[in-house]
Structure 1
Amino acid sequence: MAKYISLFGGTTTDTTVQVVKENQIVIGYGPCMSMNRYVVYKVEHTADGYMYHMIDLDTKEIRCTHILQPLSCQYGIGKYYDDKTPQFMDAFEVAVLASEAERLAAEKADAEAQAQAEHDRIARIGAERLENIMPENVQGVILAELNETHFTDPSYECRETQSVRTVILGFSTTTRNGFGELRRAARNLPETASLAVYNKDYEHRYPCFTLGKSPDSGWSIHKMRYYTRKGFIDMLAYTAGDEANIRLSNATAERSDKRPETVVQGDFVIVEYSDKAIAVFGDTKPIKTELSALGGRFNSRLTHKGEKKAGWIFQKSKEEQVRRLIGKNE
């Protein structure tokens, strides 16, 4: 026998007992006690008990649940049936409504699939951009966030905050938080330029370091931390798919777009890969032991001239030693 226990009301629901019939009206209570009305258009018996398929009478969206509680025991959020004076809809009206709801559900699923495909396409473009400009030793990404807060009921007791735009302002080589770093990055975007001027009231430390008039409304700046380079790219790929969402300082942009390279010998190329790192490309297999001994780290997914390419990463301080090693193997 399948049973579900409510943590809030302390009640137990036996799903092997059918509590409503087809065409019966069900009432749903949501956050802030918002109310929705549903009609049950199909009752299905499953391994977990009875499943009730319902249609929202306002939105025509399909919902399913195993748990329906009697209205006489109503205690909060959930879906309830009137156990004293149950109400029903005409069977023909419900059949027409179900047909319309299923059509809308199919259209919604198709639209969501197309939207996901477009999202993935944009994310691929963004990932490629970030591969080209993000330093190998990145420890944090400084982001500008435009947030909007909407109140969901007239008493303002329930509200919802959402981000409507994210802009990449810079890359950081440390996980430490500092408002000075955020203020410097603020200059990169006209909408946040005013935050570059010191204002103690704009420094928020809880729940996280945020620079702005309010973390919940308007523009604010914070640092994304504790991801690997690949993790940062995965998280921000869609954002970077729109070039307008990348606003680096001129110095950073120039270093990213104009990394100098030196051809040491036909098969070897040394590239300034970031501010503090160089990369070596070419037929390095015969000297891989020596490269590793110098502190090199092999990476099969580096980016060179916009393409994925295997190579070795070194600290820039090792450049002369790398040159001498390659010179000995010419």
Structure 2
Amino acid sequence: MSKVFLLGANVEIDTEIKTVGIGQIIRMEGYEYDNYVVADITHNSYGYSYCLINLRTYEYVTAETIRPLSQKFGIGFYYDDTAPQFIGTDELRAVIHKAEEIADAEILRKEQKREEQQRTKQRGMEMLRRITPADVQAVIVAELHEDDSDPITDYFGCRNVRTVILDFSYKTREDFAEMRCAAAHFPDTAYLAEYNREYEHREKYSMGHGYWLGENYYSGWIIRKEGCSNAESLIDRYAYTAGCKGGIYVPEVPQTAMPEHLPADAAPQNITVEIIDYSEKAIAVFGDTKPLKEILRSLGGRFSPRLQNNGQTAAGWVFPKRNEQKVRQTLASYLAA
């Protein structure tokens, strides 16, 4: 024998006793106050279980206990124990048929959604494999948060309704300057690229949100940085995001689309550049770089109008030392003799 004790109502229910029959109308009290019909009754070691169909939405639900309306207390399913109501066999059959159609359509919808999500993830995975640096250590993302706090219950929280990949990073250290630079890549977060001390949040404490850039964590766009153990883990984590429309704003083109070098007949005339060792960890490109800015940006370069070249201030592009071979190969047609 199996029993259920309802603490609030101070009532013990024996689930081995069948309380309603197939075709009987029952009512949900406390939520939507909809009527249901009992479509099937099963029994197992825990007692009787009732399969119900909502007569408004035709959705299936399961109930373990159905109590008499004359003893109503709190939220739950109730049957009229003074004047029980039933529907006819033909009407019940029609209700079950419609409920099954809706259930089948919902299964199909979920399957189609799952397949579309898989296609989206596959697209994103292919894209990220082309542009993710092998030695990446972190990714910088923008998140659009929607406030779902409930001050009445003292609950404060939000949900992330959109994620956009902004850039990759070769370091795990939190850096607001790096976040601001990445924010400029996406129009909706471009305003965060301007320095504003109030946008910088350092919440490295229990229940804090870590380091993030933005106005309000619970509503609107924020920028944050997430470390990764390797490139593959990052690709797997953000494949779906990258595959969504507008899910990635990294200012690089796919590496597979970049030529190893630009042939001489494809190079604009009278453009020359020079590549120098700028520091132990960087190289710099000087010269007629303006027509080549998209190429230089795609190679991972960062433009600065105040670099030093031969003891003078000059505009140029800085690259990590690890990119030197790729930069020299791509710009071979432009290098001064």
TM-score when normalising by structure 2: 0.60
Letter in 1 for 2:18: Q
Letter in 2 for 1:247: Y
Letter in 2 for 1:21: G
Partner of 2:240: 238
8 Å Cα contact 2:179/2:224 also seen in 1: yes
Residues 176 and 107 of structure 1: is their aligned pair in 2 closer, same or farther, counting only changes over 3 Å?
A: same
Larger radius of gyration: 2
Distance between the aligned counterparts of 1:83 and 1:64, measured in 2?
A: 19
Letter in 2 for 1:240: A
Q: CA deviation at 1:2?
A: 5.0
Q: Where in structure 2 are the equivalents of 1:263-302 lying within 5 Å?
A: none
Q: Where in structure 2 are the equivalents of 1:22-101 lying within 5 Å?
A: 22=22, 23-27=24-28, 29=30, 36-68=34-66, 72=71, 74-75=73-74, 79-82=76-79, 88-91=85-88, 92-101=90-99
Distance between the aligned counterparts of 1:8 and 1:123, measured in 2?
A: 47
Partner of 2:109: 111
Q: CA deviation at 1:227?
A: 5.9
Partner of 2:302: none
Q: CA deviation at 1:97?
A: 2.0
Distance between the aligned counterparts of 1:80 and 1:51, measured in 2?
A: 13
Partner of 1:209: 211
8 Å Cα contact 1:133/1:257 also seen in 2: no
Distance between the aligned counterparts of 1:188 and 1:150, measured in 2?
A: 28
Partner of 2:169: 172
Q: CA deviation at 1:254?
A: 7.4
Partner of 1:218: 220
TM-score when normalising by structure 1: 0.61
Q: CA deviation at 1:209?
A: 3.4
Q: CA deviation at 1:104?
A: 0.8
8 Å Cα contact 2:25/2:87 also seen in 1: no
Residues 131 and 52 of structure 1: is their aligned pair in 2 closer, same or farther, counting only changes over 3 Å?
A: same
Letter in 2 for 1:184: C
Partner of 2:132: 134
Q: CA deviation at 1:171?
A: 1.7
Residue 186 of structure 1 pairs with residue 222 of structure 2: no
Letter in 1 for 2:232: K
Partner of 2:277: none
Q: CA deviation at 1:86?
A: 7.2
Distance between the aligned counterparts of 1:209 and 1:167, measured in 2?
A: 17
Q: CA deviation at 1:243?
A: 5.7
Residues 108 and 254 of structure 1: is their aligned pair in 2 closer, same or farther, counting only changes over 3 Å?
A: closer
Letter in 2 for 1:219: W
Residues 82 and 147 of structure 1: is their aligned pair in 2 closer, same or farther, counting only changes over 3 Å?
A: same
Letter in 2 for 1:20: V
Tell me the alpha carbon deviations over residues 181-209 of structure 1, each in whole angstroms, 9 at most, x when there is no partner. Answer: 32221101011100112334434433343
Letter in 2 for 1:232: L
Number of residues paired by the alignment?
Answer: 257
Structure 1 residues without counterparts, runs of 5 or longer:
262-275, 277-314, 320-330
Q: CA deviation at 1:75?
A: 4.9
8 Å Cα contact 1:15/1:48 also seen in 2: yes
Residues 201 and 108 of structure 1: is their aligned pair in 2 closer, same or farther, counting only changes over 3 Å?
A: same
